[in-house]
Structures are given as C-alpha cells and as structure tokens.
Amino acid sequence: MMLNELTLGEICDQGGGIIRTGPFGSQLHESDYSEIGTPVVMPKDIIEGKVAESTIARVSQEHVDRLGQHRLVPGDIVYGRRGDIGRQALITQRESGWLCGTGCLRITPGKSVVDSKWLHYYLRDSQVIAFIAQQAVGATMPNLNTSILRSIPIRFPALAIQRRIASVLSAYDDLIENNTRRIAILEEMARRIYEEWFVRFRFPGHEEVKMVESELGLIPEGWRRGSISELYEGLYDGPHATPKPSTGGPVFLGIGNLTETGRMDFSSVRHIAEEDFGKWTKRVCPQPGDIVFTYEATLNRYALIPNGFRGCLGRRLALIRTNPETHSNLYLFCMFFSEGWRQVVAQNTLSGATVDRIPLSKFPSFPIMVPSMPIMAVFDGIVRPMFAEIEVLGRKSKNLRATRDLLLPKLISGELDVSTLPEPEEALAA
C-alpha cells in the first residue's frame, strides 16, 4: 500500500481547515456556564474517542455568538491540550454547533486529502500518541499547542483505503457503543426499581402493609431507621501512599477508574509490580462484589469490583464488603445513587483547605432506611440478573476494544491489506 506523507498542518492548510486553540479562561469564565444551553466540550468530556454529555457544561446563546469561531462542525477533532496526551474525539452530527472548550484544541481538516474518521483513528495509534507526548511541553503537566499538532507527520493512503480502514475500526466502536447503551438501560432499570420500592414504597404487596409513623415520617411497618454498618460486613480504606508504577501487573485503582455512572473505567490504569501486590493488599484485597467508593476529593463515585479483577485500592478510595448470605450488596449499591444518600453525604462532608472528604470513622453510623429483609431479598433476586448481564456486556466490550486496538496499528501502517474490501457505501448498498 503506497503511503503519502504530510504534516497535519499541511493537510489542514490544503483542505481549507485550521488547528485552533479553544477559548482561554479570560474568554470563558466559570460564571458563564448555565444548566441549559449549548454544550461546551472540555477534556473531561472526551471519553474513548467520543464526547460524553452526562456532565458537560453549557452556555447561553449570547456566549455562543461571542465565541462563534470555536463552534464545532462534523468532521472536526477535539484534542485535549493538557494532561492525558492522546485524549481526542471525532465530532459527529450530534455535536454540530457545540463549542470547543477551554483546555482543548480543535482540528478542522476541511476538504483535505484525509478522511476525518480515518484521521481520528490515526491519532489514536500508540506510536502517534508517543510521538506527540515527546513534543509536549511542561515538566509536571504535559501541554500541547497548535504548533505541536501542526508538526505531526501523517502517513496516509488513498481516500478509498482510508474509508475502508475507518469502516473496519468503527464497526468495533459501534458494537461497543451498543453494549454501552444496553448497560445504561439495565442500570436505569435497577435504579428505577430501587426508587419505586424503597423511596415511593410501592414494593410488591405494599397494599397489604400498614404505614406507621417514625422519625423518618410514614414508613412501611417492619421498616426502620438504622445505620449503614448494619448492612455490611467490613469497611476498609486503601493505602495512604502511592506505589512505584509498573508497565504491567495488578491494577492500582484510582479515582479516575470510577465513573459518575457507577462503572469501572479501565481505559487508563496504573499498574503495580507483581512482587509488590502483597504489600499493597495487606489492608484489604478487593474481591468481586465489593463496593469501592471515593471518600476524599471527588465524592459520590461508586463501583462494583468485577469478576476477574486483580489489584489494590488506591489513595482516597475505600470499599465495603457484604456477606451475600445475609445482605445484598446490590441494595446498597443502588442506594448510593439515591437522592436520600447524596443528602447524607452532603451533611457529613468536611470541607478542607484543598479537598472535601467524608470521615471514614463516622461512615458506619451514617443513617439509612433499613427495609424488611424479605423485601431486600426479593429486590436482590430481580436486579442480580441485570447486573450479571451488565458484567457480561462489559467483558464483551473489553474484548472488542482489545481486538480493535490490536488491529488499529496494523491497518494504519498498511500491514493489513484492505484494498479488496468494498467501500462503506458499497457495503451498505449490498
């Protein structure tokens, strides 16, 4: 496969595109953001090559008009400027008109010799990311600028070949995205059941259960106010230091591995050496079904330790372990996403000079609603298959990512020939 080579800057210039830095802090202040309006894409919103909307900031039309030069169009690539080198997302029709935010760079190839989707995958290749990282400036926090991105050498085949390569790789991403949607639906189902049963008290047979007065107001007879320690067997925090990194080995869990939606994100992990595993799990060795959570800095992140996990807790993380024969870890896990629990955390949060935290010494006494054990058992029986399916889908996505990442450099380099594959449009027509 014959490859041509130009710098990214030359490609954008030829196509009438541009590489532009997002608005600086002096142009877009925290006070400018609002709950409704046009989304502004920040580095934190770029996850696995896509833009996540769940926690995205927004601005009013007034700011959109003022910052019109930063509006995104389909085919643009938004690249994180600081920190995690290689974090970038392809802008689709969904994000058309959104703004490139502070901390990002916008790549607009224009009508150039490269396909935007192919370029998006090219920039995800590990060797390309390593090259960019070497050019980044800053001793503690790597920073990129337009000059660095413009200098990236791009070796590209004919457009038809680019589109075939992008089609192969995007097929994996489409399957992963489908699994992600199914996971989100299952999570939402479990949490809605929790809310219906344990917040609105519309559990099976509730018509026959008398409501009685309590310090919590009217609650079903047989239910009571209790402390969270009644529903778990052990509470453990992680080490208060950070081990030396390793190129492989057990996972050293960090806050970044816990998402706001309650999932584990292993797209970027820190490893510890195998010989250090015993030292860093002396306090506790995470087991499948344990609920790991943040107690300092970024609060209210929770996740279940999956089957097959081998690693240790990182700083500012703790876990609770239930006895499956007596209590449901899934009842507690769903409870952690309820508004009532978030209020408990807020009431017990200590504001420090640098970070907020909840005192683990007081955590066991945090108040919760303790339903009747039979109702909790029925709830567990209904939602456990949902969480089992979530784990299966998670494993499938992990395997798809591994296969895609194995194929990516081979396709980009031309090691795998795709010239005999039909172009995407032809494949759809067939």
Residue 426: is its pLDDT beyond 60?
no
Residue ranges of domains in the chain: 4-156, 157-190+373-430, 224-370
Per-residue confidence (pLDDT) for residue 326, from 0 to 100: 81
CATH ID of 4-156, from 3.30.1330.60, 2.40.30.10, 2.40.30.60, 3.90.220.20: 3.90.220.20
CATH ID of 224-370, from 3.30.160.270, 1.10.10.60, 3.90.220.20, 3.30.930.10: 3.90.220.20
Q: How far is CA 40 from CA 55, 70, 127, 177, 272, in A?
A: 10, 10, 29, 22, 36
Tell me the residue type at 42. Answer: M
Q: What is the mean pLDDT of residues 117-127?
A: 95
Same fold, 4-156 and 224-370: yes
Per-residue confidence (pLDDT) for residue 427, from 0 to 100: 41
Per-residue confidence (pLDDT) for residue 216, from 0 to 100: 79
Q: What digits encode the pLDDT tens for the residues 170-203?
A: 999 999 999 999 999 999 999 999 999 999 999 9
Question: CB–CB of 243/315 below 8 Å?
Answer: no
Q: What digits encode the pLDDT tens for the residues 352-407?
A: 778 899 999 999 999 999 999 999 999 999 999 999 999 999 999 999 999 999 99
What pLDDT band is residue 76 in, cutting at 50, 70 and 90?
very high
Residue 429: is its pLDDT beyond 50?
no
| Among candidate residues 282, 318, 299, 278, the one with its CA nearest the CA of residue 356 | 299
Residue 424: is its pLDDT beyond 90?
no
Q: How far apart are the first and last CA of the chain?
A: 26
Question: CB–CB of 102/23 below 8 Å?
Answer: yes
Share of the chain above pLDDT 90, in %: 74
Beta-bridge mates of residue 88: 79
Q: What digits encode the pLDDT tens for the residues 214-257?
A: 887 899 999 999 999 999 999 999 888 888 889 889 999 999 89
